[in-house]
Amino acid sequence: MEVVILTGASRGLGAALADQLLSSERRLVCIARKPNPLLEQKARDRKAWLDYYLQDLTEIEASDMLAQSICDELPADASRLTLINNAGMVEPVARASALPNDQLVRALNLNVAAAMLFSSRFLKGTEDFAGERRILNISSGAARSPYAGWSVYCATKAALDMFSRCVKLEEAVRPNPARIVSLAPGVVDTDMQATVRELDPEDFPNVERFRNLKATNQLASAEEAARRIVLYMARADFGTTEVDDVRNYSTSSEQPSS
């Protein structure tokens, strides 16, 4: 049985990923700040193995303890072990001269530190695992293109990209290297996007672009984005390109588009 650990599973893309990964043939371990009653009901209906932990991942010490506990108990006989670092936040949105201290720290903790800690505990806890290990970090196009007002979001997602590059180099010399990818999912119609569309142009000058994406139906649904990510996760060449974008691939299969 495959085991998948997923952070940020209560809403948006994370909830959609959890729904698609929920199966009687897979153990799904979710971590989120809020409950997801619908997912728990679906797990009962599908007779699926779901472990759901409530944890605010901006609280680093408690999050590290939880990551340690989960990763220490991963089954040695699993067919594959996968970690998906999905939890993230877009706030604070402000010019660098006006960044609020509390939101800045929360964003750094959630978008970077929590993902690094879960990856660290996962790699350490699975060192002797004989099967395949995969880490998927949910990145963003904002990691690779600067936006005024999004300095924190862009920088934290770029940090996740570079972290993935470094881990790939470290794992390459190991006997059973873990595979890692930092994947941009495209622009997804979630609560985060709704928040972005309400921003003041003074804080986020590109707000009109995102309003237009919604108005012209150019946003992917959370369900469609999750479907494409799950297909990507199943690729035989997962990890070959450690910083990637799901939009580079066909929408109909896991194979690269021609």
Active site residues: 153
Q: 126: domain range?
A: 2-186+222-248
Residue 252 pLDDT greater than 80, yes or no: no
Residue 256 pLDDT greater than 60, yes or no: no
Confidence of residue 211 (pLDDT cuts 50, 70, 90): very high
Query: Average pLDDT, whole number, for the chain?
Result: 94
Q: Give the predicted TM-score (pTM) of the model.
A: 0.93
Q: What CATH number does residue 239 fall under? A: 3.40.50.720
Q: What percent of the chain has pLDDT over 70?
A: 97
Residue 31 pLDDT greater than 90, yes or no: yes
Tell me which DSSP letter residue 237 carries: T
Does residue 197 lie in a domain region?
Answer: no
Task: Please tell me the predicted confidence (pLDDT) of residue 251.
Answer: 63
Residue 113 pLDDT greater than 50, yes or no: yes
Residue 246 pLDDT greater than 60, yes or no: yes
Does residue 236 lie in a domain region?
Answer: yes
Does residue 231 lie in a domain region?
Answer: yes
Confidence of residue 10 (pLDDT cuts 50, 70, 90): very high
pLDDT digits (tens, 9 = 90+) for 76-105: 999 999 999 999 999 999 999 999 999 999
The dihedral through the CA atoms of 204, 115, 136, 36 has a sign that is: negative
Q: What angle do CA 32, 35, 38 make, to 5 degrees?
A: 120
How many domains does the structure of the chain reveal?
1
> CB-hemisphere CA count at 13 Å for 238?
23
Residue 146 pLDDT greater than 90, yes or no: yes
Does residue 141 lie in a domain region?
Answer: yes
Residues 6+ apart with CB under 8 A from 100: 92, 94
Residues 6+ apart with CB under 8 A from 164: 135, 137, 139, 180, 181, 182, 242, 243
The amino acid occupying position 219 is L
The amino acid occupying position 103 is Q
Alpha helices in the chain, H assignment, sequence order: 12-21, 37-46, 60-72, 101-108, 114-125, 151-172, 191-197, 207-215, 222-233
Does residue 104 lie in a domain region?
Answer: yes
User: What mean pLDDT do residues 18-31 have?
Assistant: 97
Please, are residues 178 and 133 in contact by the beta-carbon 8 Å criterion? yes
